[in-house]
Chains A and B, each alone.
Chain A
Amino acid sequence: MKALAIGFKPSDLGEALAVLNRLAEALGEELEANALIISKEPFKHGGFHKIYHVKTASLYNSIGSIYKVMDDLTVDTVVSPNIKDGVDLLGRVATKIDGFMVTEVSSIEKIDGDVYLARPILGGRATAYYRYTPGTLFTYTVGKFQPIDEAGEPDVIEVTTEPGSYTVVGVEEKKRGAVDIESAEVVVGVGRGFRSKDDIKMASELAELLGGEVGCSRPIAADFGWLDEDRWIGISGKKIRPKLYIPIGISGAPQHIMAANDSKVIVAVNKDKNAPIFNYSDYGVVADLYQFLPVFIKVLRERLVK
């Protein structure tokens, strides 16, 4: 099997190698892995036959380059991390080669001699299985495949980009905190039940008391910008696995809560007793968060500090 892995940053290559090894093993084939990296600076990683480098941070400046590389290589598959640019790029390649693509593959399974790509659908409530045939491209879920480190220094081949029909006129970095809610032991989730940015202080106070971090639903980060996007929990944000997750004023849309499924205990606070979040929780408090939180914080403080 001859494959091409797309990489945007150094850690992508170890993961891609793990994905491709898994696929080759399931197919029972030898692997020849090649890489195309789209980044300002080139990087190397063992285990690859050839590494092509396009010197740009913007996919839209370099779309044509992948077609050049593919003309040079004739591969059976192309894989990319499931980030937005990866999904976009593979979608374009799939159309170019008249192939198929599977988005966000979270595992590769061998069942009765056939190889399947499994992916979450319905906001994570279900899994769909697609039979892999050569020519199928796919993006893989970041963090699901244990990266492989291999020694070796393949040559890096510089690929020049041709201006396409897109002009990137500017790039704005997003604000990032230094939090890592994915490995936090306790997470307090903020949802649209909070009426203002200022009120999030209550959630921060609770998180601090419990030795945890504040996370949030998509609208709080992406829409209102009340919290940085690295606190956004969900299928399009971070996956969390704390001992305790406390979603507050969050309705429990599958796209949010399915990313918290690995939490040991979930405690929901919501004023609507029919909110779906209670179906996904171990303990539920049906109350207005503005009445409950101050009391909960007070009671916790009394009992924890004793």
Chain B
Amino acid sequence: MDIAVLVKASLDVNLVRGDAEGRLLKEAIPLAISEYDRNAVYEAVRLRDALGGKVYILSVLTWGPTQRRMRDFENVVREALALGGDEAHVVVDEAAVEAGPKATAYILSKLVDKLGGVGLVLCGEASMDMMASQVSNYLASYLGYNSVTFVRELSIEGGKVRCKRDLENYIEMVETELPAVISVTGEINKPRLPTLLQIRRAFAKPLKTYSLSDIGVSELPKQTPTKYELVKVSRKNIIIEGASMEEIASKLVDKLIEEGVLRR
């Protein structure tokens, strides 16, 4: 059985850029691997090592302009390969930019069809930039697979998957049959940083790029936001300095009293 892992090149939430009018400067924000997709790759590698098969890294570039994003995008995909993926299959097409989770899932379903033999798809519980938690359910539905979300522990035995779903107030143990799409939480494992050797090897692994027409997609169920706005935060940003911890602590206490936030 082969495993596909969905990896998104997200806008880097730590490097958000905007202008003075509160407009979001999307194109100036670099791409980074979506945090929980690392966990998904790591989990897939663990399962592959136990059960055999291949780990495919699948990704659709959804931030444009695609031309200018290619270097960042490839870095993200190579990072997933360095974490242990065997081959990458990615879609780059201007029509997929900001097309939304449903369209993304549709594209990914065509890619999974094309590869064939994928019994399990793993993905993150939410992408770092859009946090929709929607791609997995749409994808499962397009593929006709079972779908389990928010999974923090999983095991496979004889065609069955057993998952621990991490919900707000309880942990729920669920069983379902393969093939399945499973979204994992950041707590499922602790990915190690790839070693230099793994990074170097990642550059020799196959990476195949497709356009939408290559995988037989002509129309997309798009859902694009009509507008974005920056959330403004303004804080004083004062660093308290001093020759000793005592001095810093007492200057800080002065400030807190000045601000009226200490009960005295």
Q: Which residues of B contact A286 (CB under 8 A)?
A: 239
Give the residue name and chain of the B residue nearest to A294 (CB).
B245
Chain B interface, DSSP helix/strand/loop, else mixed? mixed
* A255 contacts partner chain B, Cβ-Cβ < 8 Å: yes
Chain B residues within an 8 Å CB radius of A222 = 166, 185-187
Q: Is the CB of A218 within 8 A of B186?
A: yes
Nearest-neighbour CB distance to chain B for A229, whole angstroms, equals: 8
For the complex, give the distance between the alpha carbons of A171 and B233 in Å: 41
B226 proximity list for chain A (CB < 8 A):
116, 129-131
Known contacts A84-B167, A125-B230; decide if A210 and B173 are in contact (CB<8 Å): no
- CB contacts (< 8 Å) of B166 on chain A: these are 84, 222
The answer to whether B253 and A303 have CB atoms under 8 Å apart is: yes
Report whether A103 and B133 are in contact in the complex, using a CB–CB cutoff of 8 Å: yes
A104 to B133, CA, bound (A): 10
Residues of A within 8 A of B168 (CB): 83-84, 174, 229
Whether the pair B149, A174 counts as a contact (CB closer than 8 A) is no
Per a CB cutoff under 8 Å, which of B170, B176, B264 touches A165? B176
A-B contact pairs, 23 of them (CB 8 A): A84-B165, A85-B167, A92-B147, A123-B13, A125-B230, A126-B230, A127-B228, A127-B231, A128-B227, A130-B225, A168-B172, A170-B172, A222-B186, A222-B187, A223-B187, A255-B13, A267-B256, A273-B239, A280-B233, A281-B237, A298-B249, A299-B253, A304-B262
Judge whether B252 and A285 touch: CB under 8 Å. yes
Point out the residue from A167, A284, A299 that lies within 8 Å of B176, measured CB to CB: A167
A174 — which chain B residues lie within 8 A by C-beta? 168-171
Question: Which bracket fits the contact residues of A?
Answer: 35 or more
B261 at the binding interface (Cβ < 8 Å) = yes
Whether A71 is near chain B, meaning CB under 8 Å from some CB there, is: no
Please indicate the chain A residues that have their CB under 8 angstroms from the CB of B132 in the complex: 103
B225 cross-chain contacts in A, Cβ below 8 A: 128-130
Judging by beta carbons under 8 Å apart, are B245 and A292 in contact?
yes
The digit string for B152-183, where 1 denotes a CB below 8 A from any CB of A, is 00000000001001111111111111000000
Task: Return chain A residues, CB-CB under 8 Å to B165.
Answer: 60, 84
Q: Which of B72-80, B123-131, B193-201 makes up part of the contact surface?
A: B123-131
- Within 8 Å by CB of B174, from A60, A116, A243, A300, lies A60
Query: How long is the Cα–Cα vector from A254 to B12 in the complex, in angstroms?
Result: 10
Whether a CB of chain B sits under 8 angstroms from the CB of A87 is: yes
Interface pair B237/A279, CB less than 8 Å apart? yes
Q: What B residues does A58 contact at CB under 8 A?
A: 172
Contact residues in B for A253 (Cβ distance below 8 Å) = 13-14
Question: A169, B141: Cβ atoms under 8 Å?
Answer: no
Instruction: Determine the distance from Cα of A102 to Cα of B225 in the docked complex, in whole angstroms.
Output: 10
In the bound assembly, the distance between CA atoms of A58 and B239 in angstroms comes to: 49
Pair A100/B223 contact, Cβ less than 8 Å? yes
- Chain A residues with CB under 8 Å of B186's CB are 218, 222-223
With A165-B177, A261-B233 as given contacts, are A276 and B14 in contact (CB-CB < 8 Å)? yes
For the complex of A and B, the 9 pairs showing the least CB-CB separation, nearest first, are: A91-B137, A95-B141, A128-B225, A295-B245, A123-B13, A299-B249, A282-B236, A170-B173, A244-B261
Q: Are A60 and B172 in contact (CB under 8 A)?
A: yes
Given A103-B131, A267-B256, A283 and B240 contact (CB-CB distance below 8 Å): yes
Q: Which residue of A lies closest to B145 (CB)?
A: A165
Q: Is B102 an interface residue (CB 8 A)?
A: yes
Residue of A nearest to B142 (CB): A95
